[in-house]
A and B are shown apart, each in its own frame.
Chain A
Amino acid sequence: MRHLAAAAIVLLSAAVIVFFALSPGQGWWLPPAASTIAQPIDALFDGILITATVGFVVVMALLAWAVWRGARPRADRARTVHGHLGLELGWTAAIGAVLVTVALAQLPTWAALRDPAAMPAGGATATVLAQQFAWRFGHAGDDGVLGTADDIETASELVLPAGEPVLLTLRSRDVIHSFFVPALRVKQDVVPGRAIPLWFTIKEPGTYELVCAELCGLGHHAMAGRVRALSRDEYDAWLALQSRARLSTGSEDRR
């Protein structure tokens, strides 16, 4: 019985560690990072994982050993120990130090995500309008100003320049949605009644899936979109092309 109990704890620990170690190889892990903010976030993630693994192994080893030793057939009685002030202070201080370190380590990254001083200057690159169950995006048209009649509107695909900071203004038409691009490691709830700024820098051109991460009704699961990042030149060309397409007389539909 005691073998089984101790083995269960040891096997659980081993299974947890092996499973976590194998997961990145299976792709059951953080998707490839595509934004500049992703690097410090992933580093924090890894740092906490390593710290937690050390703590996990220590506690589980102690627990398994205590069970295995303690549950052996024995005639003597356990020692009556009510506590030990030094030990209590010791582990409180040690754990406290680790937690404070973790807390301090994340402050710069949080500031990069949220500090108004870190917000890119020069106004929004694009607007995001979330509604049940679609993403709609707006870019400034020929007049270079967002929110006018010549805006370029796209559905479900947000086109952005790569390699430079972009600022989005998020709005919702109905309920709360959440703008989540796993590869960029950004997530921002889109709360109706507010215009919420969100900024990040995409490193490389590419297409990244956009997920609605906040329950928004029965079609929540299908509220998918994409972020397509283009190099600055391609982006400008895309904007120009869209502006021209806006002026269509419809003749291209005639075959």
Chain B
Amino acid sequence: MARAPRILAGSFAVLAVAGCGFEPGPAPTHYALTAETQTAFAEEPSLLFHFEVQMEEAFGPPGAPRYAPIKAWVEDGLDPNRPDLPFGSGSGEIDVAETGRLRASNREFFARQLEALASGDLDDVDVHPRHAGLRAAWRSLLDEVHAGRTGIDDARARGRELFEGWYPSLAESAERYRVECLHCHGVEGGGDGPSAQFLEPRPRDFRHGVFKYTALTQPSRPRREDLLRTLTDGLNGTSMPSFARLALAERHGLADLVRLLAIRGEVERRLAATFADEGELADDAIAEETADLFERWRATEDKVVVADSPLPPVTPELIARGAALFRDATKGNCSSCHGENGAGDGVAAWKVGLDGVRSAAYLDAWGRPILPRDLRDGILRGGSRPIDVYRRIWSGIPGTPMPALGTAKGPDGQPVLSTADVWALVHFVQSLAQRAPELSGKAER
């Protein structure tokens, strides 16, 4: 009898140690079609199935998303699956300066591996399974060394390039998305992950192709930099956190994936609408829409909003002028929604029901009630630099009732606001923020 516990305890220890190599993974899934698409195809279940298969051919499943090659792209030498490579074999989107930043970030991120690579035994270099592609590439290089096909010095150089020049594939980014983003933004990027219901504002639904905070005039799709800013800084005052802890390459990869999800979603929305209207879809409809949308995503160069004059120094007079513009119905007219004092209590933004309950007068592009920002909060989601506020005023906020004042024309055909006017508004908005006074001096005990 006395032996039994020993044997059991021993076998338990062996099992526990042996089990540490166990690696579970996610269950395979598919991108689901939206309820609207299902409704549009309700009469034709076989066509719906066909459409679903075609969509998966065009964009891949969630575990391995990718753009299926389109004839025009192949002819042009454009490969949107490789945004990191120059035009000809990739999409040519990342310029030399950004490539330098990517390499610097990788050097920091993989410092341990690069150090081991430079000094120690190659077998000491290990890549975390979360970077599956990089891990596989490194292991195959290591196998070559072990098989004697590659010399040590050669392997060091190639290994160094592997880590420094790393840029995640869409599949790797999809894995990162699954871990970091899916719980809020959902598998399809519909802003409907399991945690989304608990968050206010709701996570963005990418499938409309509408993104609120960009540096561009509207309408336009966001630039890669706009998505990167949101990923890096998060959105102040919302549940969107900062992902600065990820390597720059990983953030780029996530921006790539968000673009893919947005394009996939918009293609689906467009084609569902087409089918609802016409009862059929052309064979190359998906490719056509994809190519069109991809072009729109790239056509942002000349849309960046830049102020004509530098920010004037803040003076009480300038703030007073901003306040006047803010309240002037023929100029800014901001107070109609944001209220006389920027508290978000303007009459136009609210409606009162028969039961006397006040609620939001407007819905946003995603069909949810939207209220104007209480500017006293001092929390500006699009960024707190004056130019960020300038751009919000200039080009409005897509998907919301916030209008583009920079391009608005009065009844006389003249622009309602000059650059100086917008700067005055910026100063006024920034003066509204109620900051706690003791922040500057000694903190309370």
Q: Do A and B touch, yes or no (CB under 8 Å, in the complex)?
A: yes
Query: Interface residues, chain A, CB within 8 Å of chain B?
Result: 1, 3-4, 116, 119, 123-124, 127, 131-136, 138, 140, 145-150, 153, 155-157, 167, 169, 171, 173, 194-197, 209, 218-219, 222-226, 245-251, 253-255
Please tell me if the beta carbons of B234 and A155 are within 8 angstroms of each other in the complex: yes
Q: With CB as the reference atom, state the residue of chain A lying closest to B419.
A: A249
Assembled-state Cα–Cα distance A245/B431 (Å): 19
| Contact sample, A vs B, 9 pairs, CB 8 Å cutoff | A131-B237, A150-B314, A156-B245, A157-B244, A171-B439, A196-B443, A197-B442, A226-B244, A254-B301
Q: Is the CB of B435 within 8 A of A219?
A: no
**Could you tell me if A195 and B233 are in contact, using CB atoms closer than 8 angstroms?**
no
A247–B310 contact, CB under 8 A?
Answer: yes
Q: Which residues of A contact B437 (CB under 8 A)?
A: 147
A195 touches B239 (CB 8 A): no
Q: Are B436 and A145 in contact (CB under 8 A)?
A: no
Q: Report the nearest A residue to B319, measured CB to CB.
A: A149
Report which B residues bind A (CB closer than 8 A).
2, 5-6, 95, 180, 195, 198, 215, 223, 225, 232-234, 236-237, 239, 241-242, 244-245, 301, 304-311, 314, 379, 384-387, 390-391, 427, 430-431, 433, 435-445
Other than the known A169-B438, A250-B306, what 8 A-B pairs have Cβ atoms closer than 8 Å?
A123-B441, A167-B443, A169-B439, A224-B241, A225-B244, A245-B385, A249-B306, A250-B305
Instruction: Say yes or no: A197-B304 contact (C-beta < 8 A), given A133-B241, A171-B436.
Output: no
Distance, CA A4 to CA B391, complexed state (A): 75
Return chain B residues, CB-CB under 8 Å to A119.
442
Across the two chains, which residue of chain B brings its CB closest to A1?
A: B2
Across the two chains, which residue of chain B brings its CB closest to A146? B440
**Does B314 contact A219, Cβ atoms closer than 8 Å?**
no
Known: A136-B236, A155-B233, A169-B443. A255 touches B241 (CB 8 A): no
On whether A124 and B443 interact (CB within 8 A), knowing A147-B436, A253-B225, the answer reads yes
Nearest residue, chain A, Cβ from B433: A149
Q: Tell me the nearest residue of chain A to B388, going by C-beta.
A: A250
B435 in complex: contacting residue of A3, A148, A155, A167, CB < 8 Å: A148
**Known contacts A218-B195, A247-B386, A249-B311; A155/B242 CB under 8 A:** yes
Would A116 and B441 be within 8 Å (CB), given that A134-B241, A251-B306 are in contact? Answer: no
Whether the Cβ atoms of A147 and B245 lie closer than 8 Å is no
Q: Closest B residue to A131 by CB, please name it.
A: B237
Residues of chain B with a CB closer than 8 A to A116's CB: 445
Q: Are A147 and B440 neighbours in the complex by a CB distance under 8 Å?
A: yes
> What residue of chain B has the Cβ atom nearest to residue A223's Cβ?
B241
Using CB atoms, name the residue of chain A closest to B95.
A255
User: Please, which residues of chain B bring their CB within 8 A of the CB of A250?
Assistant: 215, 304-307, 387, 390-391
Which B residues are CB-close (under 8 A) to A209? 245
Known A-B contacts A134-B234, A250-B215; A195 and B439 likewise in contact (beta carbons under 8 Å): yes
Chain B's interface: helix, strand, loop or mixed, by majority? loop
Instruction: Decide: A134 near B236, CB < 8 A? Known: A156-B245, A157-B244, A219-B241.
Output: yes
B244 contacts A155, CB within 8 Å?
yes
B436 touches A195 (CB 8 A): yes
Chain A min CB distance to B352 (Å): 29
Of the candidates B2, B195, B244, B437, the one having the most CB atoms from chain A within 10 angstroms of its own CB is B244
Are B239 and A219 in touch, CB under 8 angstroms?
yes
A226–B245 alpha-carbon span in the complex (Å): 8
Partner of A123, one of B232, B241, B440: B440
Are B304 and A195 in contact, with the CB atoms below 8 A? no
Which of A1, A224, A248: most chain B CB closer than 10 A? A248
Task: Give A135 to B241 CA distance when docked, in angstroms.
Answer: 9
A194→B439 CA distance, assembly (Å): 11
Q: Which residues of B contact A253 (CB under 8 A)?
A: 215, 223, 225, 304, 306
When the two chains form the complex, which single residue of B215, B225, B233 contacts A156, counting CB atoms closer than 8 Å? B233
Give me the 8 closest cross-chain CB pairs, A-B, nearest first. Answer: A156-B242, A197-B443, A147-B439, A155-B233, A249-B307, A149-B430, A146-B440, A147-B435
Complex interface: chain B residues within 8 A of A123 (CB): 440-442
A122 to chain B, nearest CB (A): 9
Q: How far is the CA of A197 from the CA of B443 in the complex (A)?
A: 6
B433 CB contacts on chain A under 8 angstroms: 149
Q: A148-B435, A155-B242, A247-B310 are in contact. Are A255 and B301 (CB under 8 A)?
A: yes
Residues from chain A with Cβ under 8 Å of B427 in the complex? 149
A172 vs B31: C-alpha distance when bound (angstroms): 38
**Cβ of B246 to closest chain A Cβ, rounded Å:** 10
A134 proximity list for chain B (CB < 8 A): 234, 236, 241-242
B375 to chain A, nearest CB (A): 12
Residues of A close to B180: CB separation below 8 A:
222
Task: Report how far A251 CA is from B304 CA in the complex, Å.
Answer: 8
Q: Give the residues in chain A near B440, CB-CB below 8 Å.
A: 123-124, 140, 145-148
The residue from B306, B310, B379, B391 contacting A254, defined by CB atoms under 8 A apart = B306
Q: How far is the CA of A149 from the CA of B96 in the complex (A)?
A: 35
Name the one of A127, A194, A246 contacting B386, with C-beta atoms under 8 angstroms.
A246
B442's closest neighbor in chain A, by CB?
A: A123
Quote the shortest CB–CB distance from A196 to chain B (angstroms).
7
Residues of B within 8 A of A169 (CB): 438-439, 443
Q: Contact: B242 with A149, CB < 8 Å?
A: no
